[in-house]
C-alpha cells in the first residue's frame, strides 16, 4: 500500500506540474472529486481494516506482556524492565501513507463541499472587466445563489434565483467548457439586446450612461487614461470603459456562428440579439476590449458557475479587498 500511495502522489504531482506549466488543461472540480473518492476509500480501509488490525496487535502485545509478568511473579520476580508502552504506541501509530490519505479525507471533503455548493475562488485572468475587476483580483463566487447544482456535471437540482441584469457572473465558456469566463449579465431570456454606436439598449431602451470626470480610468500597465462612464442595468450601477469614437468589428456576419445565431443581426454599427429561453447575454465592462456574447453568442443556464461578489485578495493592491457591483 505504501508503494501504491507513493505512485498515486507521483501521478498527482506530474499532472499538477503539467497543468501549471500549460502542457494540458484540467477540470479542478473533477480532480477534487477524484481525490475525495480516493481518500474516502483509504479512510474506510483505515476505519474498518487497518486500525482494527493495529488495535488487535497492540492488545495481543499487552496480553503477552501480562502473561509474561504473571509467570515472572510466580517465580518471585516483581520488578520487570520493559518498553511495552512505547511498543504499543508504535503499533497503534498510522503509517505515513495513511496519514496522507485517510488523515486528509475530512479536509478534502470539506473543501469539496464548500467549493461545490457554497463558494469558489476565482482569479481574474484578463482585463475584460476593468474597471470593476482588475487583473490579479482574487474573487469569491457564490455557488448557491442561482441554484444548487451537482458537482462536476453542473446539473441544477434546486432552483433558487435567476441571474439578473447587472450581475457579475462566472460561467463556462460556451466554445470550451473547460475554461471559466467572467462577464456582466446584460440580457436575460426574452430580452432584445442591442449594442449600436457604442450604446447599449435593452428592449429598445438605452441603458442610462453618464460620463465620469476626466481624466478617466488610469491603466497602470499601459500607463494610459481611458474614458470612464457610469452605466445602470436594472438596479445596479457600475463603471465601464468606453471609447465613443471606436467601433467594434465582429467579423463577416456569415462567418459568425454559435447556437441560436439566427436570433442576432449584425450591421456596420453594431449587433442586435434576442436572448433565447434558458440563455443569457454577457458583456465585459471594458467594452472595447472584451470578447463576449457579441462575438461568440449566448451563455446557456447549464454553463453557469455562480455570481461573483467579493474581492478577497489582490497581492499588488490590498485596497482592492471588498465587495463590488
Residues marked active site are found at 128, 183
Decide: 304 and 185 in contact? Cβ < 8 Å: no
Q: For residue 270, is it left (φ>0), alpha (ψ between -120 and 50) or beta?
A: left
Interaxial angle between packed helices 28-45 and 2-20, expressed in degrees from 0 to 180 and rounded to the nearest 10: 170
- The Cα-based distances of 194 to 25, 41, 113, 186 in angstroms read 35, 53, 40, 10
Task: Collect all residues with Cβ–Cβ distance below 8 Å to 160 and sequence separation of at least 6.
Answer: 144, 145, 146, 147, 148
The DSSP annotation for 223-284 comes to: TEEE-EEEEEETTEEEEEE--TT-------GGG---TTGGGEEEETTEEEEEPPTTEEEEE-
Cross-strand pairs, 288: none
Amino acid at each position: 500500500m505504501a508503494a501504491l500511495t507513493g505512485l498515486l502522489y507521483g501521478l498527482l504531482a506530474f499532472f499538477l506540474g503539467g497543468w501549471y506549466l500549460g502542457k494540458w488543461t484540467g477540470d479542478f472540480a473533477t480532480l477534487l472529486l477524484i481525490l475525495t473518492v480516493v481518500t474516502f476509500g483509504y479512510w474506510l480501509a483505515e476505519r474498518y481494516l487497518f486500525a482494527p488490525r493495529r488495535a488487535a496487535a497492540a492488545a495481543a502485545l499487552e496480553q503477552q506482556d501480562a502473561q509474561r509478568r504473571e509467570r515472572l511473579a510466580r517465580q518471585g520476580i516483581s520488578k520487570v524492565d520493559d518498553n511495552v508502552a512505547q511498543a504499543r504506541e508504535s503499533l497503534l501509530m498510522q503509517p505515513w501513507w495513511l496519514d496522507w490519505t485517510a488523515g486528509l479525507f475530512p479536509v478534502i471533503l470539506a473543501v469539496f463541499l464548500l467549493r461545490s455548493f457554497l463558494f469558489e475562488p476565482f482569479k481574474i485572468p484578463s482585463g475584460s472587466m476593468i474597471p470593476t475587476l482588475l487583473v490579479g483580483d482574487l474573487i469569491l463566487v457564490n455557488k448557491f445563489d442561482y441554484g444548487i447544482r451537482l458537482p462536476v456535471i453542473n446539473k441544477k437540482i434546486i432552483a433558487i434565483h435567476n441571474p439578473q441584469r447587472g450581475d457579475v457572473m462566472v460561467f463556462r465558456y460556451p466554445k470550451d467548457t473547460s475554461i471559466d469566463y467572467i462577464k456582466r449579465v446584460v440580457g436575460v431570456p426574452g430580452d432584445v439586446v442591442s449594442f449600436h454606436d457604442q450604446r447599449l439598449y435593452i428592449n429598445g431602451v438605452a441603458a442610462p450612461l453618464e460620463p465620469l470626470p476626466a481624466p478617466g480610468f488610469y491603466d497602470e500597465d499601459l500607463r494610459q487614461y481611458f474614458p470612464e462612464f457610469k452605466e445602470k442595468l436594472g438596479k445596479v450601477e457600475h463603471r465601464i470603459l468606453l471609447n465613443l469614437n471606436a467601433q467594434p468589428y465582429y467579423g463577416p456576419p456569415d462567418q459568425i456562428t454559435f447556437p441560436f445565431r439566427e436570433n442576432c443581426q449584425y450591421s456596420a454599427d453594431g449587433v442586435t440579439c434576442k436572448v433565447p429561453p434558458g440563455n443569457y447575454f454577457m458583456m465585459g465592462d471594458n467594452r472595447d476590449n472584451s470578447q463576449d456574447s457579441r462575438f461568440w453568442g449566448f451563455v446557456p443556464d447549464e454553463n453557469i458557475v455562480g455570481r461573483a461578489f467579493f474581492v478577497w485578495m489582490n497581492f499588488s493592491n490590498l485596497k482592492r479587498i471588498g465587495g463590488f457591483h
